[in-house]
Amino acid sequence: MVKMVSFPSWSYHFRPWNLADFQKIEMLDHRQKRLQMEPLKLNDMPPSSETLDTLEFRRVVCKGVFYYERSIYIGPRSRSISGVTENGYYVITPLMPIPGDADSVQSPVLVNRGWVPRSWRDKSFEVSQDGEKSSSTDVVPVQQNERSWWGLFRSKKQKAVEAQAPAITYVEVIGVVRGSEKPSVFVPPNDPNSGQWFYVDVPAIAVACGLPKDTLLIEDINENVNPSNPYPVPKDINALIRSSVMPQDHLNYTLTWYSLSAAVTFMAFKRLKPKNSRR
């Protein structure tokens, strides 16, 4: 009897949780409307917190030069391919302005280029370490250098251009403006000193790259992947308007709990109602 009485109150306890989750409908609708807008060019938009609030989930086009040596890997992140799960990482790389090009970004931005397998990251680390051993300039900390690493980047690339013209490759990124992730309690804290990044913290990543905290993060959504060079794998734009539990599922849950609550409450009422005694 106690169980029968306690069940309705227990099930009604879950109603606020289901109803509060209906806010996802408005959130996903907001994202979908922004993603359907025409892409914007970032060549004349300075980074700022107001820009993020205005442009988050807007598609943008930005042109520049990737500074691959400053790439940061976020993970591990799993990816399912034909039913097989493989661990890997998201790779975030600074996109630098092209000197004298008005169509390129005028301030550096961070680009989440997509998912790469663990072997891809490990190989990149080996190349980076070999480069540090062969160049004393690369190992100078940013804090001890009078110039920002952006200036260092430009001077190094200019020297490369003088030696070999194809050394610089300009790219055009089609992406979506994103903010930082909100990690769960099970995700360990980032450790920038050791290069361990478990979740996307845009201001911290920007500082680690020597950029201002308000640097924008663009998530690459380009669908034209070169089969001969499939990595990084850009994020599927449809994933931005999906949730692990969609609002339609929440509606079904709510209707189920309401029905169960009403049915069990009625049964409890009938069971506890005193019967009229015949005289």
Q: Where are the alpha helices (DSSP H) in the chain?
A: 2-12, 15-20, 23-35, 49-55, 118-134, 149-163, 202-208, 247-272
251 found inside a domain: no
Q: For residue 2, what pLDDT is reported?
A: 46
Tell me how many domains the chain contains: 1
Paired strand residues for 114: 91
Q: For residue 142, what pLDDT is reported?
A: 37
* Dihedral sign for Cα atoms in the order 142, 144, 148, 153: negative
Residue 14 per-residue DSSP state: T
Q: Summarize the confidence of residues 209-229 as an average pLDDT.
A: 86
Confidence of residue 95 (pLDDT cuts 50, 70, 90): very high
3 found inside a domain: no
Q: Summarize the confidence of residues 184-191 as an average pLDDT.
A: 94
DSSP result, 221-243: ------TTS--SBPPPGGGGG--
Residue 261 has pLDDT above 90, yes or no: no
Q: Summarize the confidence of residues 73-97 as an average pLDDT.
A: 91
- CA dist 15 → 10, 11, 187, 256 (Å): 10, 7, 29, 10
110 found inside a domain: yes
109 found inside a domain: yes
Q: For residue 159, what pLDDT is reported?
A: 52
User: For residue 90, what are the domain limits?
Assistant: 22-244
Give the other-Cβ count within 10 Å of 93's Cβ: 21
The pTM of the full predicted model, rounded to 2 decimals, is: 0.71
Q: For residue 30, what pLDDT is reported?
A: 77
